[in-house]
C-alpha cells in the first residue's frame, strides 16, 4: 500500500464484494482492470443477452450496480472513490475510472458494505407487515444521491399500469422462441458459476396481481403460510431524466444503493426487469408511471415471512476471472 493506492489485498477484497452485485440473469457482465493508481470498469460484452438485452441497457445497469458495490466496499476499507464515468468519449466501453483517496470509513458506509454479502434477490412472497414510510424515504434519498428518482407505487391507477406492464411483457416473451431459448440457457442452473440457479426461482405465480418471470426449472419453495393476497410488498419505480449510456450506468448505481439500503434495514427485495426489456411496456411505464422520465428499474421490497428459510448466495465467477492487472493469489 502507498499513500495514493491500496495494496493488492485491499483491492482484491473490495472487488470481491463488487462482483456480488446483482446482474441480469446473474450474467455478471463486467471486467475490472487495475492500473498503477486507478481501477477501471468495462462491460464484458461476451456475456450480453442478445435477445433479452439487444441495446445493452441491462448490461450497463448491471455494471453500474457493480460500480456502486465497489464504491461502498472501498469506502468501508478506508478509501474514498473519485469516479470518472465514461472518461473517454472515444472508448464508450470504458464505463468508469476510479481514483482512490485515503479516508476514514463512516458508520453508514460500513453498514452498506456489511449488507453486500447478505443481500439476496428474494423472488418469494413477502409478509403482511407494512414497509414504514421512513424506510421508503431513506431509499429514495439514496437513489437521488446517485442521480435517479425512486417512486413508490402504492395506489391506483399507477399500480394497475405496472401490473399490466409486467403481464404484457411476460406475454410478449412467452410468444418469442428466441427469448425462451435464451432464458432456458441462463436459468434453471445447478452448480454453475453464472445464470439463475433453479433453487433461486419459485414457480410463476398463479394468483395475486404481480406476475413473476417464468424461469426454467424453478425449485424455490414459498414460505409456509405465505399467500399472494397477504403480501404487502411495495413496488418501486426507479427512473432517470435521460436514457443514454451514462444515465443507465447511474441507474445501476442507484439500484445498488436502494438494494443495499433495503437490506441494511432488514427488508427483502427483488428487481423486476422484464417489462423494461420490451419497448411497448417500457413506454407504458414512462407515460403512465414515471411522469415522462426514463424508467430504468422496478423493485419489490417488503418483509420476508418470519418462517422463510434463508436463501443461499447465488454463485459468482472467481475474482481472478474478472480482474486484470494484479499479481496475487485470488481467492
Residue at 52 is within a domain: yes
Q: How far apart are CA 249 and CA 60, in angstroms?
A: 5
**Residue 310 domain flag:** no
Please tell me the predicted confidence (pLDDT) of residue 212.
85
Report the DSSP pairing between strands 30-34 and 234-240.
unpaired
Is residue 126 assigned to a domain?
no
DSSP, residue by residue, 201-229: -PPPPSSSSS-----SS--PPPPTT--ST
Q: 210 and 244: one domain?
A: yes
Number of domains in the chain: 2
CATH code at position 25? 3.40.109.10
Asked if residue 51 and residue 159 are part of one domain, the reply reads: no
Give yes or no: residues 140 and 26 share one domain.
Answer: no
Among 236-245, 283-292, 317-326, name the one with the lowest average pLDDT. Answer: 317-326
Same domain, 110 and 137: no
- Verify that 143 and 30 share a domain, yes or no: no
Q: Stretch 135-158: mean pLDDT, rounded?
A: 96
Q: Do residues 149 and 296 both lie within one domain?
A: yes
- Considering the entire predicted model, what is its pTM? 0.95
- Find the range with the poorest average confidence among 178-182, 241-245, 320-324: 320-324
Q: Is residue 312 part of a domain?
A: no
| Residue 155: cis peptide before it, omega within 30 degrees of 0 | no
Say what the pLDDT of residue 331 is. Answer: 40
Give every strand in the sheet of 234-240, ordered side by side: 149-153, 234-240, 294-302, 268-272
Residue 327 confidence (pLDDT)? 53
pLDDT of residue 225: 85
Residue 330 lies in a domain: no
Tell me the Cα Rg of the chain.
Answer: 19
Range of the domain at 28: 8-117+317-324
% pLDDT > 70, the chain: 96
Q: Is it the case that residue 232 has pLDDT exceeding 50? A: yes
Is there a domain that residue 178 lies in? Answer: yes
- Residue 26: CA count within 13 A, CB half-sphere: 23
Per-residue pLDDT at 326: 61
Per-residue pLDDT tens over the stretch 18-62: 999 999 999 999 999 999 889 999 999 999 999 999 999 999 999
| Structure confidence at residue 148 (pLDDT) | 98
Do 289 and 186 lie in one domain? The reply is: yes
Report pLDDT digits (tens) over 51-95. Answer: 999 999 999 999 999 999 999 999 999 999 999 999 998 899 999
- Residue 183: pLDDT above 60? yes
pLDDT, residue 206, reads 52
CA dihedral 43, 49, 50, 56 (to 10 degrees): -40
Structural domain contains residue 309:
no
**Residue 171 and residue 100 in one domain:** no
- pLDDT confidence of residue 61: 98
Answer yes or no: are the C-beta atoms of 297 and 249 closer than 8 Å: no
Q: Are residues 164 and 26 in the same domain?
A: no
Residue 168 has pLDDT above 70, yes or no: yes
pLDDT at 2 over 70: no
CA-CA-CA-CA torsion sign (249, 149, 165, 232): positive
Residue 36 lies in a domain: yes
Residues 108 and 137 grouped into a single domain: no
Cα dihedral sign for 232, 257, 260, 104?
Answer: negative
- What is the SS3 assignment for 119? coil
| Whether residue 248 is found in the same domain as residue 156 | yes
85 and 60 share one domain? yes
Assess contact for 294 and 243: CB atoms under 8 A: yes
Amino acid at each position: 500500500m502507498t499513500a495514493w493506492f491500496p495494496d493488492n489485498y485491499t483491492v482484491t477484497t473490495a472487488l470481491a464484494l463488487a462482483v456480488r452485485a446483482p446482474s441480469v440473469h446473474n450474467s455478471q457482465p463486467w471486467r475490472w482492470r487495475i492500473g498503477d493508481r486507478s481501477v477501471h470498469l468495462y462491460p464484458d460484452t461476451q456475456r450480453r443477452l442478445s435477445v433479452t438485452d439487444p441495446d445493452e441497457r441491462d448490461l450497463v445497469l448491471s455494471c453500474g450496480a457493480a460500480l456502486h458495490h465497489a464504491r461502498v466496499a472501498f469506502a468501508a476499507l478506508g478509501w474514498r472513490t473519485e469516479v470518472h464515468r465514461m472518461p473517454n468519449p472515444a472508448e464508450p466501453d470504458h464505463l468508469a475510472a476510479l481514483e482512490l483517496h485515503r479516508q476514514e470509513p463512516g458508520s453508514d458506509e460500513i453498514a452498506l458494505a456489511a449488507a453486500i454479502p447478505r443481500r439476496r434477490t428474494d423472488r418469494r412472497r413477502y409478509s403482511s407487515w407494512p414497509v414504514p414510510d421512513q424506510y421508503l424515504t431513506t431509499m429514495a434519498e439514496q437513489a437521488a444521491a446517485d442521480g435517479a428518482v425512486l417512486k413508490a407505487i402504492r395506489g391506483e391507477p399507477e399500480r394497475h399500469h405496472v401490473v399490466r406492464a409486467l403481464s404484457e411483457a411476460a406475454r410478449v416473451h412467452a410468444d418469442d422462441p428466441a427469448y425462451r431459448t435464451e432464458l432456458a440457457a441462463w436459468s434453471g442452473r445447478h452448480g454453475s458459476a453464472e445464470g439463475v440457479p433453479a433453487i433461486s426461482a419459485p414457480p410463476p405465480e398463479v394468483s395475486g396481481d404481480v406476475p413473476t418471470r417464468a424461469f426454467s426449472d424453478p425449485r424455490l419453495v414459498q414460505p409456509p403460510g405465505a399467500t399472494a393476497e397477504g403480501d404487502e410488498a411495495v413496488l418501486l419505480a426507479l427512473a432517470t431524466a435521460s436514457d443514454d449510456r451514462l444515465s443507465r450506468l447511474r441507474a445501476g448505481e442507484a439500484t445498488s444503493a436502494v438494494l443495499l439500503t433495503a437490506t441494511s434495514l432488514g427488508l427483502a427485495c427483488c428487481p423486476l426487469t422484464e417489462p423494461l426489456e420490451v419497448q411497448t411496456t417500457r413506454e407504458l411505464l414512462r407515460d403512465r408511471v414515471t411522469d415522462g422520465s426514463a424508467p430504468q428499474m422496478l423493485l419489490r421490497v417488503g418483509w420476508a415471512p418470519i418462517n422463510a428459510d434463508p436463501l443461499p448466495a447465488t454463485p459468482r465467477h472467481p475474482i481472478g476471472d474478472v480482474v486484470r492487472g494484479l499479481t496475487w493469489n485470488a481467492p
